[in-house]
Amino acid sequence: MHPCAPGTLPSLTRRRLVSAGLGGLALATLPACQPDLVAEAAKRPLRIAIDLWAGHYPLLLARERGLLKAHGVDVEVVIPENTRQLLSDFAAGSYDGVCVSLGDMITLTRATPDIHMVLASGESIGADRILGKGSPSRVDDVRGARIGTSLGGFGELLVLRFARRYGLSLGDIELVQVDASEVPAQLASGAIDYGHTWEPYVAQAREQGFVEVFSSRDTPGLVVNGLICHGSVLQRRGAEIRALIAAWFEAVDWWNRYELDAEPILRRLLAGRTSEVVRMAIRLLTREDNRAKFRPGTTEDSLHHVAELYADHFIARGLIGRRPASSELLDADFLA
């Protein structure tokens, strides 16, 4: 692997990054890297991959409305429509950043420990849903059920909270690997009894008669998504990441003021992928919301506390062996 590849650069402390200035620090600290390769990487657009989820669409609006360009940053937005593949490609260095759940970030640290959430994009307040044929009326409707979710992802904890509602644990149900995009088909085939997904896949499942039995509305603060970047990208291209975040927040402010105007723009941008572009049951997070979320705390209002909940869960499941420190994962410096 080339010494300039994501995840291979020497770590720099946050104090050094801030005091030296992110714009040119990386070049001074990479004597082993060939200058032409560094220059080439700096010229290409930032590659950011996102899921189909309205909480990530401020990035699309920022690009469409020229906000990214106004801040001097070029961004290529990729929408793979498969979360597991997106995460795998990010771990392999295919993307500079991804917009995914904080829970997904925790398991990513097993393969790519030097990653950092620099922006909390949105909080799911009912957008993540567990669907089934009907709402359970007794414990035995859930005991032994096959429940589809992305294994090793944030959905596991949502499913666990669903099981606990009926006094059950993960040992009382069967977790099945199903990507969110596959849930409607897997429910229809009978391969699973319940499945965790979000829009636009919720609408597809509802068209087939499936109903919501649990959602992130029942777990406030647990499901928060954000922009996660490789540490090496923050070193080499920190000024661009800061500019991207500034444009993102401007797009959030614009969307909050002109929600009806945003809908046709997003429908056009996402034509052929989805017609569901509304942000129902999603709270877009402003810069001030982010500053509050990034503060350490002991409730699920704090990203630090939520990160610890996911770490506890994945350690207990044997999916990670080392507890990542929330202070290393969450970097609020780029919010300034």
Fold agreement between 14-125+222-335 and 129-218: yes
Decide if pLDDT at 29 tops 60: no
The residues near 300 (Cβ < 8 Å, ≥ 6 apart) are 219, 220, 221, 222, 306, 309
**Segment 297-312, tens digit of pLDDT:** 999 999 999 999 999 9
> What pLDDT shows up at residue 41?
54
Side by side, the strands of the sheet bearing 97-101 are: 75-78, 46-50, 97-101, 224-230, 115-124, 282-284
pLDDT class for 84, splitting at 50, 70, 90? Answer: confident
> What pLDDT shows up at residue 40?
52
Instruction: Give phi and psi for 43, each to the nearest 5.
Output: -80, -35
> What pLDDT shows up at residue 81?
85
> What pLDDT shows up at residue 234?
98
Buried b or exposed e, range 98-130, using 16+ CB within 10 angstroms: bbbbbbbbbbbbeebebbbbbbbbbbbbbbbbb
Cβ proximity of 185 and 232 under 8 Å? no
Mean pLDDT, residues 188-196: 98
At the fourth CATH level, which superfamily is domain 14-125+222-335?
Answer: Periplasmic binding protein-like II (3.40.190.10)
Mean pLDDT, residues 216-229: 96
- The burial of 214, by beta-carbon neighbours within 10 Å (0-12 exposed, 13-18 middle, 19 or more buried), is given as buried
**Segment 231-253, tens digit of pLDDT:** 999 999 999 999 999 999 999 99
Decide if pLDDT at 286 tops 50: yes
Mean pLDDT, residues 83-87: 91
Identity of the residue numbered 322: R
Decide if pLDDT at 224 tops 90: yes
**Segment 270-283, tens digit of pLDDT:** 998 988 887 889 99
CATH of 129-218, one of 3.30.60.50, 3.40.190.10, 2.60.120.330, 3.90.190.20: 3.40.190.10
Say which residue, 19 or 230, is predicted with more confidence.
230
Decide if pLDDT at 15 tops 70: no
Cβ proximity of 162 and 242 under 8 Å? no
Decide if pLDDT at 26 tops 70: no
- Using DSSP's 3-state secondary structure scheme, residue 329 falls into helix
Mean pLDDT, residues 181-195: 97
- The burial of 135, by beta-carbon neighbours within 10 Å (0-12 exposed, 13-18 middle, 19 or more buried), is given as exposed
**Mean pLDDT for the chain?**
88
> What pLDDT shows up at residue 42?
57
Instruction: Give phi and psi for 51, each to the nearest 5.
Output: -80, 160
Mean pLDDT, residues 10-31: 33
> What pLDDT shows up at residue 21?
34
pLDDT class for 43, splitting at 50, 70, 90? Answer: confident
Least confident of 3-12, 205-214, 266-275, 327-336: 3-12
- Boundaries of every domain in the chain: 14-125+222-335, 129-218
* Residue 225: count of CB within 10 angstroms of its CB: 30
Helices 303-316 + 155-165 axis angle, to 10: 80
> What pLDDT shows up at residue 4?
43
